[in-house]
Amino acid sequence: MDAILIPGVIVLLALAAGAVVYLVRGAPAREQQRLAALSGGAVRDAASVQKVQWRGTADRAPFITLLLRRTSIWDALQLEILQAGWLLRPSELVAIIAGAGLVGAAVGLGATQRWAMILFGLAIGSAIPWIALKLRQSARAKALSAQIPDAMDMLASSLRAGFAFMRGLQLIASQMHPPISEEVRRVVEEVQFGTSMPDALDNLVRRTQDYDLELVIAAVQTQLEIGGNLAEILDNIGDMIRERVKLAGEIAAATAEGRMSAGILLALPFGVAFMMNVVNPGYMDPLFTPGLGHILLALGGGLMLLGSLTIKKLITIDI
Residue 220, Cβ density class (10 Å: 0-12 exposed, 13-18 middle, ≥19 buried): buried
Q: Which long-range contacts (CB under 8 A, 24 or more apart) does 3-6 make?
A: 5/109, 5/110, 5/113, 6/110
The CA distance from 154 to 84, in Å, is 25
Do 156 and 234 touch, CB atoms closer than 8 A?
Answer: yes
The CA distance from 105 to 86, in Å, is 26
pLDDT value of position 201: 92
> Other C-beta atoms within 10 Å of 90: how many?
21
- Rounded to 10 deg, the angle between the 256-279 and 115-160 helix axes is 160
Fold observed for domain 140-254:
Receptor-associated Protein (1.20.81)
Cβ neighbours of residue 49 under 8 Å, at least 6 residues apart? 37, 38, 43, 193
pLDDT value of position 244: 84
pLDDT value of position 221: 86
pLDDT digits (tens, 9 = 90+) for 184-229: 999 999 999 998 998 999 999 999 988 888 988 988 888 878 877 8
In tens digits, what is the pLDDT along the chain, a chain of 319 residues? Answer: 444 455 555 555 555 555 555 544 544 444 444 444 444 443 334 333 333 344 445 677 777 888 888 788 888 898 999 998 888 888 889 999 999 989 888 887 877 667 777 887 888 889 999 999 999 999 999 899 889 999 999 999 999 998 988 999 999 999 999 999 999 999 999 999 998 998 999 999 999 988 888 988 988 888 878 877 888 888 888 888 888 888 888 888 888 888 888 888 888 888 888 888 788 877 877 877 777 888 888 898 888 888 888 888 887 777 6
Reference 169, options 224, 225, 239; nearest CA is: 224
The CA distance from 235 to 220, in Å, is 12
The CA distance from 255 to 247, in Å, is 12
Q: Where are the domains of the chain?
A: 2-138, 140-254, 256-315
pLDDT digits (tens, 9 = 90+) for 248-275: 888 888 888 888 888 888 888 888 888 8
Tell me the chain's radius of gyration from C-alpha atoms.
Answer: 25
Cβ neighbours of residue 112 under 8 Å, at least 6 residues apart? 118, 277, 278, 281
Residue type, 213: L
Q: What is the value of pTM for the model shown?
A: 0.69
The CA distance from 46 to 30, in Å, is 18
pLDDT value of position 48: 36
Instruction: Measure the CA dihedral 217/221/222/228, to 10°.
Output: 100
Helix, strand, coil fractions of the chain, as percent rounded to 5: 80, 0, 20
Category of 162 on φ-ψ map: left (φ > 0), alpha (ψ -120 to 50) or beta: left
